Amino acid sequence: MATIEITSENFEEVVRNNPLVLLDFWAEWCGPCRSFGPVFERASDAHPDAVFGKIDTEAQPELAAQFGVRSIPMLVVFRDQIGVFGQPGALPAPALEDLITQVKGLDMDEIRRKIAARKAGEA
């Protein structure tokens, strides 16, 4: 599956309607972003069960601000509408593959329990 463009208009729908979403925050002028782009694209082809979205920080500053993007490229991963990873930096292909495998293997029921317990503790 090819990467798709994510905007403020389609962000919520994409995250809500897909069990695994990887988001690459990037900009045209960013050298590391240009080198990470093909790695991200190849991973999208290898994982048709996931959505790989690209967010141009120049065109979508509100999304970049929402995620506190200060350095690009930045990768954000959602599993079952829960943000489970966020980190700046261009990952090499083996590291990206390892991350995808780890995210697919997460026990989301356990993560939801931890989130609920944390929220209960804050109340």
pLDDT of residue 123: 66
Tokens read off for 46: 């290898």
Residue 48 pLDDT level (bands cut at 50, 70, 90): very high
Task: State yes or no: is 45 an active-site residue.
Answer: no
pLDDT of residue 121: 84
Query: Which of 1-5, 35-39, 92-96, 97-101 comes out lowest in average pLDDT?
Result: 1-5
Query: CB neighbours of 102 closer than 8 A, spacing ≥ 6?
Result: none
Query: Burial letters for 38-69: b for 16+ Cβ neighbours within 10 Å, e otherwise?
Result: ebbeebbeebeebbbbbbbbeebeebbeeeeb
Place of tokens 């988001």: 23
Q: Is 3.40.30.10 the CATH classification of the domain at 4-122?
A: yes
- Active-site residue identified among 33, 51, 90, 96: 33
The pTM is what?
A: 0.93
Entry field: residues in the chain: 123
- Active-site residue identified among 21, 22, 30, 74: 30
Task: State yes or no: is 33 an active-site residue.
Answer: yes
